[in-house]
Amino acid sequence: MLLLSDGESGSSDIGAPLTRLTRAHIQVFAIGIGNTQGAPVPADSSEAPEQWHRDHIGRIVMSRLEEADLRRAARETGGSYRRWSPGLGRVLALDLAQLGRRPLASGDSLERVDRFQWPLALAVALLLLEPMLRARRRSAVA
């Protein structure tokens, strides 16, 4: 799993999700984005009236990089943690390319086969024969 985050969390403990990831043998490759001193969060779009995102009471939202949970997630699942830097994309692509791939889930499913062609062909043939049968009846009655 590739996790890009500032690490700030509203919940208290990430232990339960980490346990599930570890049991499923899913490694977390965490990338910390931001800085530890904190910085304002940019607005959602370039068309926003202001440069910075504001909370429900009008304060500029600040985000700080919290590395502890990101490092823990990477360590406990056998992944790795790195802080974002401009050249990290290429390095990360090489690391991820070396990972083994495996299906996370598989199962059998029924595949329905359409078998309408024979009854449809019979119906079309009968429709084509109907005018000839009507013509025979008329000639037999007359």
Per-residue pLDDT of the chain (142 residues; tens, 9 = 90+): 888 888 887 666 888 888 998 898 888 888 888 888 888 888 877 777 888 888 889 898 888 888 888 999 999 988 888 888 887 777 777 777 777 676 767 778 888 888 889 899 999 999 999 888 877 777 766 6
Q: Give me the pLDDT at residue 141, please.
A: 64
Full-model pTM? 0.58
Q: Give me the pLDDT at residue 140, please.
A: 66
Report the sign of the C-alpha dihedral through residues 85, 90, 91, 95, in that order.
Answer: positive
At the topology level, CATH places domain 2-97 in Rossmann fold (3.40.50)
Question: Among the residues of the chain, which ranges form H helices?
Answer: 15-23, 67-77, 88-97, 117-141
Q: Give me the pLDDT at residue 121, please.
A: 93
> Domain segments of the chain: what residues?
2-97
